[in-house]
Amino acid sequence: MQLDDLYRQVIMDHYQHPRNRGQLEGDAVSVHLHNPTCGDDVTLQLAMDGDVVRDVRFQGVGCSISIASASMMTEAIRGKKLDDALALSDSFHRMIRGEETDSEDLGDLEALQGVSKFPARVKCALLAWNALERAVEIEKNRGRGTDDGDGAAGS
């Protein structure tokens, strides 16, 4: 089996059977983003335990790349400290832009590396990750008392 075929299977599995899809109850940071270019739409929720992502869920509609990326991201960041989740997001952004990055840090997310060859799909792959970065910003501001009170951010 070719590596590209394996990557395609991983992406399709996450698209057809997304992990952590749903809604969190209780105190969770929620961020909604929409890509008007293609119609992808995602709402990401983070539940924190101190500075650790205790739980994460997403809801949304979109193409296979968008949904698979969101599903894979939720698996990758659960249990991570916020700063580690941001570092992973930075590595993922670099990979999707075709820049050099340490693939060991990315694990299964490396399956999305081929997206870098299709500029029109880069935004699809990054939508949930951009929501993560906004959610982390909101969570960090909560700790400083500067949250706007609703815990949500739109696009």
The two tokens of residue 34 are: 């929409």
Residue 146 inside a domain? The answer is no
The two tokens of residue 25 are: 């109850």
State which residues form the domain around 29.
3-141
**What CA–CA distance (Å, rounded) separates 71 from 15?**
8
- pLDDT on residue 12: 96
Residue 117 inside a domain? The answer is yes
Report the CATH number that the domain containing residue 49 is assigned in CATH. Answer: 3.90.1010.10
Count the domains in the chain: 1
- pLDDT on residue 152: 42
Residue 147 inside a domain? The answer is no
Residue 154 inside a domain? The answer is no
- pLDDT on residue 101: 87
Residue 133 inside a domain? The answer is yes
Q: Where are the beta strands (DSSP E) in the chain?
A: 29-34, 41-49, 52-61, 152-153
Residue 45 inside a domain? The answer is yes
pTM equals 0.89
The two tokens of residue 1 are: 């089996």
Give residue-wise pLDDT tens across range 46-90. 999 999 999 999 999 999 999 999 999 999 999 999 999 999 999
Adjacent-strand bridge partners of 36: none
Residue 119 inside a domain? The answer is yes
- pLDDT on residue 146: 55
Closest CA to 113 of 7, 1, 6, 2: 7
Residue 151 inside a domain? The answer is no
- Given a cut of 50, the residues of the chain with pLDDT beneath it are 147-155
In angstroms and rounded to an integer, the radius of gyration of the C-alpha atoms of the chain is 15
Classify residue 128 by burial, with Cβ atoms within 10 Å: 0-12, 13-18, 19+: buried
- pLDDT on residue 153: 38
